[in-house]
Structure 1
Amino acid sequence: MKPPYEITPEILRLITSISEKIGEVNANYLNKPSTLLRKQNRIKTIHSSLKIEGNTLSVEQITALLENKRVIGPKKDIKEVLNAIDIYENLDKYNPLNEKSFLKAHKDLMSNLIENAGKYRNQGVGIVKGTKVEHLAPPYENVKYLMKDLFEYLKNPNEIELIKSCVFHYEMEFIHPFLDGNGRMGRLWQTLILMEKYPVFEYLPFETLISKDQEKYYKALSESDKSGKSTKFIEYMLKVIDISISELLNFNNRTLNEKDRLEYFSSLNKLEFTRKDYMDIFKDISSATASRDLKKGVELNLFEKIGKMNKTKYKLITGYNTVYNL
């Protein structure tokens, strides 16, 4: 059965807005951000998703762990981050349509943090806020059947991916299939579902917006619980996604220096190009600036110059998609 929700005018507006922005992302080659931007966004994703669950490590500490440096902090928090780094560095290992892959991801994410990581809960659970039970999850005996149905829903080709990802996120939180790690699994799996159709979501840290105003996140979950359908949560998550893509598009509007431009352009892997192709990406620079950039790129062995005058072309020397010391 399809989980219950309604298509509202707000949902239609947001899907249209997101679809237009994804088109703009692809047109500007932002579907594969630069190496540096990808790293920064991955750190933001890990920091924000774990912060929502009470992890105390800072962005700087997570960056240090990503670079295999020593960090002083609570053992549990450090282990949570190390597990998350391993997950987000290997997202292609997990199949968003496969339940066994889902359980494997939970095992990897919660390894050495809880007993029975990667297994559905075997006891009843409720979410308590203060002295009030905010949410009573379905009986544990029903979990495996509910999750099986939810994965069947994911295979429905007639559902829009943007909606499907939100519905899965909400329904999984409602079922609460694990004793711990449900929140981070819901956000991780929504990312994986979206990545299937839109690769840019691998680098889109929408968790950052959730962590900045967690009350709205929990309110959307609560309102959907009370109404018996995921409509409110779909509206909330689509707004978060829409804002996140807008922030990515703002990348092109910031002031880039020579290093930024060369690093970003090299990461696009355009094997052969002209000065005009370079200027099509960086629309606010002059032809003289573009020529200086490309000359510097040749000096650094990033590009090889072919031809002369108006027949000049450049060839990318592969293997140089790291941060350059200019």
Structure 2
Amino acid sequence: MEYQRQTGVFVENTLGGERIAAFVPCALPPDPPLDLGSLLHLLERAASAVGRLDSMSERLPSGKAPLRPTYRDKEALLSSQIEGTQSTLDDIFLFDKDKDRSESDDLQEVLNLSDAIEHGLKRIREDDFPLCLRLLREMHEILLRSGRGAAKLPGEFRTSQNWIGGTRPGNATFVPPPPDRLDECLGDFERFLHSEDPRITPLIKAGLAHLQFEIIHPFLDGNGRLGRLLITLILCEAGMLKEPILYLSRFFKSHLDVYYRLLDETRRTGAWEVWMEFFLTGVAQTAEQASKAASDIIATFEEDRKAIRDRLGRSAPSALNVHEQMQIRAITTAALVSNELNISYPTAQSALENLVKVGIVHKTEGKRRGQHYVYSKYYALLSE
């Protein structure tokens, strides 16, 4: 298929004594419009999968709704790993925000992203705040408030030229819009976010907006992480998801070479349909996998609650209380349980040992805080 779209213009400039060509993208949506004929089956599959996942969210346990923060933290981990961080699920679960200071920049970046996700979703769902440039700046400020990016204008759009790949703008793989064209690009981008063209469904909007955000690269740091989060924010704001339990970082991380190649090819050729095929495939696969994982996790919780009631007798209430807490923190310690549930250390340890006795939890010696208790089946499902 031939694509005759102009995707943008190159603006020549001099930086550091070198001639560079920065790219200024055309405003969305693509012109001529997307040819959705070949994508309809994928669009329907992706929409159906997201719908099933959204229905699954209604089956999440009430109250603390444990899967929600856990999914958010796992997305923060995977998205940060794309950028090269080395933190693990264990690091996140064992971090005590009331007592600990981050032991590494890697972990701090993951924790910041998790907080940025929470902030953005709270603003959209509880404050009825629109997805806009101001909200993106608020999340960016949280994302870079500490760690390696703290000196890179947290919460502010860049005022200098950045680039992608290479050691300097002159040998870069790609040079985003120059600072004096950034307001124009971002104004067009925000208008697209607020547009209500019936031909642009939320899934199509999310796919287009993600790629355009990466092309604009409006911040000095954190663009990739924020751009991936943008996908879920668009779907939540549009009402396709009541809860933020769909994230594409795992899919992108598994297909990183294809992801980067298509970002570049779409910018160069205007073949938005090829990018959307990849994107919608990712949405469909991720939503289908997330639905199965959520179903397996919910079934595990219920099966384990029954085992606790049936086998622990008078010790069951305290064990059930700790079991519920471990749905949020799949690896824990007696000290963490004592602090979070406001119970004595002996009570916390006794409940954990009872969960070990039932076979729900196993013990392991950890480098931090000594004895760790791991919610075995749940942790295995999260780690897949």
Same fold (TM over 0.5): yes
Residue 128 in structure 1 maps to residue 165 in structure 2: yes
1:149 maps to: 188
Residue 192 of structure 1 is aligned with which of 223, 233, 242?
Answer: 233
Aligned 8 A contact 2:57 2:242 in 1: yes
Deviations 1:171-229 (A, max 9, x none): 11101111111101101122111111222561123211212231122112111111135
Distance of 2:270 and 2:40 partners within structure 1: 21
Q: Deviations over 1:48-107 (max 9, x none)?
A: 110111112122112223665648753x22321221122233321254532211111111
Match of 2:107 in 1: 78
Letter of the 2:57 counterpart: L
2:70 is aligned to 40
Residue of 47, 50, 56 corresponding to 2:86: 56
Separation in 1 of the partners of 2:82 and 2:266? 19
Q: In the alignment, which of 245, 254, 276 is matched to residue 203 of structure 1?
A: 245
Q: Is the Cα contact below 8 Å between 1:43 and 1:63 reproduced in 2?
A: no
Q: 2:40 matched to which residue of 1?
A: 12
Q: Post-superposition shift, 1:242?
A: 0.7
TM-score normalised by L of structure 1: 0.73
Q: Are 1:137 and 1:176, in contact at CA under 8 Å, matched by a contact in 2?
A: yes
Aligned to 2:291: 249
CA distance in 1, matches of 2:118, 2:297: 29
- Residue 231 of structure 1 corresponds to 273
- AA paired with 2:145? S
Task: Please tell me whether residue 179 in structure 1 is matched to residue 220 in structure 2.
Answer: yes
Judge conservation of contact 1:107–1:117 (CA < 8 Å) in 2: yes
Partner of 1:3: 29
User: CA 1:63–1:134 in 2, change beyond 3 Å: closer, same or farther?
Assistant: same
How many residues are paired up?
A: 279
Q: Distance in 2 between matches of 1:200 and 1:106?
A: 23
Distance 1:66 1:223, change over 3 A: farther
Whole-Å Cα distance in 2 between the matches of residues 219 and 53 of structure 1?
16
Counterpart CA distance in 1 for 2:179 and 2:163 is 11
**Unaligned segments of structure 2, at least 5 residues:** 1-26, 318-322, 328-350, 356-384
Of 252-261 and 137-146, the range deviating more from structure 2? 252-261
Residue type matched to 1:51 in 2?
Q
SS at match of 2:174: strand
Q: In the aligned structure 1, how far is the partner of 2:287 from the partner of 2:70?
A: 15
SS of equivalent residue, structure 1 residue 136: coil
Answering whether residue 133 of structure 2 is matched by residue 99 of structure 1, we say yes
Q: Decide whether the 8 Å contact of 1:96 with 1:102 is kept in 2.
A: no
Larger mean Cα displacement after TM superposition, 157-166 or 208-217: 208-217
**Equivalent in the alignment of 1:118:** 155
Q: 5+ unaligned residues in a row in structure 1: which ranges?
A: 264-288, 302-319
Q: How many angstroms apart in 1 are the aligned matches of 2:98 and 2:204?
A: 38
Matched, 1:23 2:51: yes
